[in-house]
Structure 1
Amino acid sequence: MLTRMTDDDWATVLRVFSASCSRRGPKGRNDRRFLEALHYFTVHNITWRALPSCFGNWNSVWKRF
């Protein structure tokens, strides 16, 4: 997929956001898939409902956003 994060990209994300761990609520299930969904959403300028199912339920992604 054109918008998939490389392992190097993901390592950078982990370094940048390591200090911002959530202190409330349950931990997100798959942070990488969530960020890829957001990237896909913005690059392709689609509605939340048009988000491909490979990113999970569109409504769950939207609520987490």
Structure 2
Amino acid sequence: MRAIQYDRFGDYDVLGPAAAPEPAASDGQAVVRVTVAGVSPSDNAARLGKLLTGAVRPFPVIPGSSGA
């Protein structure tokens, strides 16, 4: 699948296109096709490195917390 990701903290210039593996659902889960993704203020804070350490995912990060 196509994605935008970053592999270090920084401004918008750290974002870049990437190929990511297709997600797979486990028991009790579903895979949902997202055609439009949104980035929230918390996604921006994480990209800038301004969130608490426990709230930041390991690199590379594919931001986006809402989709349609």
Tell me whether the two structures share a fold, i.e. TM-score over 0.5: no
More strand by share: 2
TM-score per shorter chain, which class?
under 0.3
Q: TM-score, normalised by structure 2?
A: 0.27
| RCO higher in structure (CA 8 A, sep ≥6) | 2
More helix by share: 1
